A and B are shown apart, each in its own frame.
Chain A
Amino acid sequence: MKILIVEDEPGMLSSITAYFAKSGFICEIATTQAEGEEKIHLYDYDCVILDITLPDGNGLTILEQLKKKKTKAGIIILSAKNSLDDKIMGLHLGADDYLTKPFHMTELNARVTAIVRRLKFEGNNEVILGNIHLDLDSKKIYIENKELLLKKKEYELLLFFISNKERIVSKTSLAEHIWGDNIDRIDSYDFLYSQIKNLRKRLNEYKSDYNIQAIYGMGYKFVKE
């Protein structure tokens, strides 16, 4: 899996690279628009992570060129401006997703995973992890061919865990993922804890290969049991 990261902020660039390298991705980097354009003309990528504001131009220009090239790469736009216009423009130009800075690595990972999955299994929208089968279109879950009925938020949690399997998922990133861009988050983590507790119990009941493991002080990990 090969991804291109176009980002001018060194701190962010190194974090993203380190994170995806750990997942076994081959990461290429570009810090300017010119460099980004050069790279997309020379190589093909599975996924391109594009920062909009670049020192010598706009990430959207690279996006246009990628689309002109009829690339098959999934494209995620990163922006510090939480601007609707940028979002609409980006998605209109053919980006697959849009993420506002600051974001959690687990969130970016989940989005990249989703895009790559969509591109890889064209049409067959299904996730398989161990004995867990997830049908993304019908939102149905099967464990060892037995259907597991989950509530909406529990389903979202499970998918998020699967996308971030074997990685630490902090509780803040879980809350962020569940509540999205709601300004003030819901009171405490009580609700989240109860959801996770419930999900873990259900996965146990169904004898899932993978389950949620609490990591002291930091969050959770979806691991093979």
Chain B
Amino acid sequence: MKLLQYTSRYFLAMILSLLVLLSAALYVSIRFTVYKDIDEYLINRRIEILNVIDEHPDIIQEKSMYHDDIFIASISEDEYKKILSKHEDGIFKDTRKYDTTEQEYEPFRKLESVFQKNNSYYKLTITSSLLNPQELLYTIFFNIILLSALLILLTIVLNRILLGRIWKPFKKNIEQIVQYRLDKDIKPQFVKSNITEFNELNESLEKLISNNLKVYENQKQFIENASHEMQTPLGVMQNKIDLLMETHSLSDTQAGMVDALAEQVNRLSRLNTTLLLLSKIENNQYSKNKSINASKLIEKCCDDFAELMEFKSIQLEINKDASVELEMHPDLARMLFSNLIKNAINHNVVCGFITIYIQHHMISIKNSGKELLISPELLFERFSKKSDNPQSTGLGLAIVKSICDFYNFRISYVYKDNVHTLTIKY
């Protein structure tokens, strides 16, 4: 759930419940005031009427003198006493009366009280219309509802617009962080915001990135330096072994051991050279590009391996559908294609084939061969090759991948019907 939704939800629930409570409280209090007011009026009216009756007792009989809000009826003594004992000041009741002009029932408040005059007992009923106060109450209630609705609507709209605007730089920055790669040279440019917290976050992120970048650079530099430093001792070892071989007094066992040593030192130095190359590619030390004709280069690489293909009886076919010019460092271009072709020969079978397609946006190399022992996803990883061949460093395809990454080429691998296909899209 988005923060905006999350806060809005609670915010709205709060406003809604508050408004309901407030409306209820308002209703009750206004109603209380209205009833109190009307009841007071009825009491005063009763006092007024009783005063008039005291002065002119005969008025009781003069029905024509009555206002239509007054009604006097004679009652028995028992009834008089019964009512008086219960309600000395009279009973207040809500009632409805039929309004002939409006032709509908309307709410009324009535006061029933009893009095005694000249040994006769009477019941006095005074009514007062509740219509005006009730309408007022309804109006107020309706207004409150309308106000609430407007308030809620406004809150939602404001939230959308305002919060949307506040979060916009944040979202942009998130996008940049998602796209950021430590091994690419593009640093994210954070959008400034008016919100202090967001700016603080940006600053922390910038600091984090630059720190990580520094560590990463150091690490890369370290690998390169370490590989450099190893070159000389390896060279010394190799040279000493060469000299040792020249010694005439070596027995066959000793000679075998020297040979094994030579083999391992050689492997070590090739590994080292390869690591050095990988770190150099990653350290952007191959930046001088030239336009390379892919077909020419591929043909030259194939020519270098021609005798080897002949040795393994491999049929080579190059299909040139387009003339492709690649902007690459000449060394890397040569390494890329010679590694790919060498790979196609190495993992081929006797009397197999290699077919190379050079097209407008891709170059693919197909070769016959047995299925790989490792999963295709691991193919381009360093040292992932489970090869029984001690000569292999397991870094050939890692170099290919590194070079492809460096130039933003996409490389993919498919194995189908005993055919390996490596495709480079550029």
Contacts and interface: CB of A to CB of B under 8 A. Distances in A.
Given A184-B339, A194-B311, A15 B243 contact: yes
Contacts of A185: 270, 391-392
A176 B266 contact: yes
A171 B255 CA distance: 13
A219 B238 contact: no
A218 B393 contact: no
A12 to B, nearest CB: 5
A142 interface: no
A188 B391 contact: yes
A217 B234 contact: no
A173 B265 CA distance: 11
B354 to A, nearest CB: 14
A104 B242 contact: yes
Contacts of B240: 11, 15
B44 interface: no
A11 B241 CA distance: 12
A218 B389 contact: no
A218 B276 CA distance: 29
Given A152-B307, A186-B342, A19 B242 contact: yes
Contacts of B273: 82, 100, 181, 183
Contact of B243 (A19, A183, A189, A190): A19
Identify whether the interface residues of B are mostly helix, strand, loop, or mixed.
helix
B259 A170 contact: yes
A182 interface: yes
Nearest to B329: A84
Given A11-B240, A172-B262, A218-B245, A183 B335 contact: yes
A194 B350 CA distance: 15
B252 interface: yes
A129 to B, nearest CB: 20
Interface in B303-328: 306-308, 311
A170 B242 contact: yes
Contacts of A159: none
A187 interface: yes
A101 B235 contact: yes
Contacts of A215: 255
A184 B243 contact: no
B262 A170 contact: yes
Contacts of B265: 102
Interface in A14-39: 15-16, 18-19, 22
Contacts of B239: 11-12, 15-16, 19, 102-105
B221 interface: no
B228 interface: yes
B396 interface: yes
A184 B342 contact: yes
Contact of B270 (A80, A170, A183, A188): A183
B258 interface: yes
Contact of B236 (A9, A168, A217): A9
A152 B179 CA distance: 50
Contacts of A183: 270, 273-274, 277, 335, 339, 393, 395-396, 399
B259 A105 contact: no
Contacts of A84: 286, 331
A187 B236 CA distance: 26
**How many A residues touch the partner, as a band?**
35 or more
B256 A103 contact: no
A218 B255 CA distance: 6
Contacts of A16: 239
A103 B232 CA distance: 10
B228 A216 contact: no
A151 B311 CA distance: 12
B242 A105 contact: yes
Nearest to B257: A217
Contacts of A163: none
B258 A153 contact: no
A81 B343 CA distance: 26
B199 interface: no
Contact of A106 (B242, B389, B399): B242
A82 B276 contact: yes
A170 B266 CA distance: 11
B72 to A, nearest CB: 122
Given A172-B266, A183-B270, A186-B346, A217 B242 contact: no
Nearest to A81: B228
B234 A102 contact: yes
Contacts of A202: none
Contact of A216 (B235, B252, B389): B252
A187 B307 contact: no
Interface string B50-86: 0000000000000000000000000000000000000
A75 to B, nearest CB: 19
Interface in A188-212: 188-191, 194-195
A219 B238 CA distance: 15
B254 to A, nearest CB: 8
Given A216-B256, A217-B258, 12 more contacts: A12-B235, A18-B243, A19-B246, A84-B331, A100-B231, A101-B231, A102-B237, A103-B239, A168-B242, A172-B262, A172-B263, A186-B342
Interface of A: 9, 11-12, 15-16, 18-19, 22, 80-84, 100-106, 151-153, 167-168, 170-173, 176, 181-191, 194-195, 215-219
30 contacts: A12-B236, A12-B239, A16-B239, A19-B239, A19-B243, A80-B231, A81-B228, A82-B231, A83-B285, A101-B234, A101-B235, A102-B232, A102-B234, A104-B238, A104-B239, A152-B307, A171-B259, A173-B242, A181-B273, A183-B273, A183-B277, A184-B392, A185-B391, A186-B345, A186-B346, A187-B346, A188-B389, A191-B308, A195-B307, A216-B255
| Pairs of residues from A and B, 10 with the lowest C-beta to C-beta distance, nearest first | A102-B235, A11-B236, A15-B239, A217-B255, A105-B242, A101-B235, A184-B396, A80-B231, A217-B256, A172-B266
